[in-house]
Amino acid sequence: MNIALARSVVGERLRLLAERMSFVTSRLKGMAHGESAEKCTPDHCAIQVDSDDEIGDSTRAFNQLIEALALSIETETAVRTFTEMLVSELDVHQLTEQALALLLQHTGADGGAILIEADGEIRVAASQGIGSAHLLANNDRVRSALRTERRHMVKLPEDLVVDGMLAQFRPREVVIDPVLHKEVVLGAVVLASGQGFSAEDRNRLDVFERGLALALHNALLYHRLQTLAALDPLTGAYNRRFGMARLREEFQRAVRLNLPLGILMFDIDYFKRINDTYGHLAGDRVLARVAKTARSVLREGDVLIRYGGEEFIAVLPAASLHDLEYVSERLRHMVEDLVLMDGDQAIRATVSIGATAYPDTDVEDDTALVDRADKALYTAKSGGRNRVVVT
């Protein structure tokens, strides 16, 4: 009788355990073929512990196994998502924004930033949940982490508050990790948590950051190559091919947003004579100086293009004809005042400028805008040079 009772009670529980094990096994096999992990969380797969004997111990051990499996699956899924994003993104801005979002989602951080170091300068590439992220670039602890190439953990509030961490939450722990690729520092990841980071969070952070370093390296390299391919080496202006593509984009944007768009076309006067008198190298220096002068007159979002030999186009988003007149005259005066020394000889140059703007003039596309500026430049040249014609 006792044996029969024991068999029915014990047997029932063992059967449940066996059933769950086989369910978990089938879920794991399914996941290996790409099925979702959702149905095997501890909620679905754990067994209620209702005795304090060997069977209870086995059930508890089973539940712990399920929890460990769930955590490992969650980490694996997170790493896979992160890696997929990293390998498909070459835009530095997009890459850092998305990487930071995933880091926050999977490491228990409530806010953070990704910083990039280039040419001795540190800048914030992405930030989330932090009050004044820009302060991080000059923060001593961040600089120290970059210099020593080692992780810095800051416990708050016992420790000093990290500038820039005055966030929408009250941070208890901050981690500052240099991002290194082949022993070269590319930047840093700064994460802050209101709860503090667990050992699991830190392990995940390590795995994520290894992938991030490689992806960031690729994206920075790609950006550098893109820039090099787009720029004219002598003047630093966009070359004609890339420059005209930028003009087209700006024109489409102006039409879409109903904003003005101005362009100036300018050309150094009697440049052949400068080359003939002082030599081609001196001519090159004049070209570079004129381009530099133009950049100093233009604003940050304006685009300078080397259109031909000694001919440039400047694209000024949101500039009206009135703005163009002002900018053109300023450029003309500044070039006229330039003196470039070649030994004891002073080289001077002037420019002629043709300017026009959409929608002040009824042009239908970027090509028509350039044609119109070209005609204005021709009028400036034939009117005596060193002058501005706005049309």
Judging by beta carbons within 10 Å of its beta carbon (0-12, 13-18, 19+), is residue 95 exposed, middle or buried?
buried
Three-state DSSP at 360 gives coil
Write each residue from 89 to 108 as x if it is in contact with ligand GTP (CB under 6 A), else as -, in one continuous string. Answer: --------------------
Stretch that binds ligand GTP, among 43-51, 53-61, 263-271, 369-377 (CB under 6 A): 263-271
The rounded distance, in Å, linking the Cα atoms of 116 and 137 is 9
The rounded distance, in Å, linking the Cα atoms of 310 and 351 is 10
Stretch that binds ligand GTP, among 89-97, 132-140, 211-219, 271-279 (CB under 6 A): 271-279
Amino acid type, 76: E
290-309 positions binding ligand GTP, by CB under 6 A: 309
Q: Does 269 bind ligand GTP (CB under 6 A)?
A: yes
Q: Does 232 bind ligand GTP (CB under 6 A)?
A: no
Write each residue from 192 to 231 as x if it is in contact with ligand GTP (CB under 6 A), else as -, in one continuous string. Answer: ----------------------------------------
Helix orientation angle between 92-106 and 54-88, rounded to the nearest 10 degrees? 170
Q: Which residues pair with 356 in a beta bridge?
A: 263
Half-sphere exposure for 185 (CA within 13 Å, toward CB): 24
Q: Does 267 bind ligand GTP (CB under 6 A)?
A: yes
User: Active-site residue among 209, 250, 310, 325?
Assistant: 310
Q: Does 378 bind ligand GTP (CB under 6 A)?
A: no
Q: Does 275 bind ligand GTP (CB under 6 A)?
A: yes
Closer CB to ligand GTP, residue 59 or residue 328? 328
The rounded distance, in Å, linking the Cα atoms of 49 and 58 is 9
Q: Does 270 bind ligand GTP (CB under 6 A)?
A: yes
Q: Which residue has the tokens 């009824």?
A: 362
Helix orientation angle between 199-230 and 54-88, rounded to the nearest 10 degrees? 10
Q: Is 310 a catalytic residue?
A: yes
Q: Does 289 bind ligand GTP (CB under 6 A)?
A: no
Chain Cα centroid distance, residue 336: 40
Residues that bind ligand GTP (CB under 6 A): 234, 267-273, 275, 280, 283-284, 287, 309-310, 381, 385
Q: Catalytic residues, which ones?
A: 310
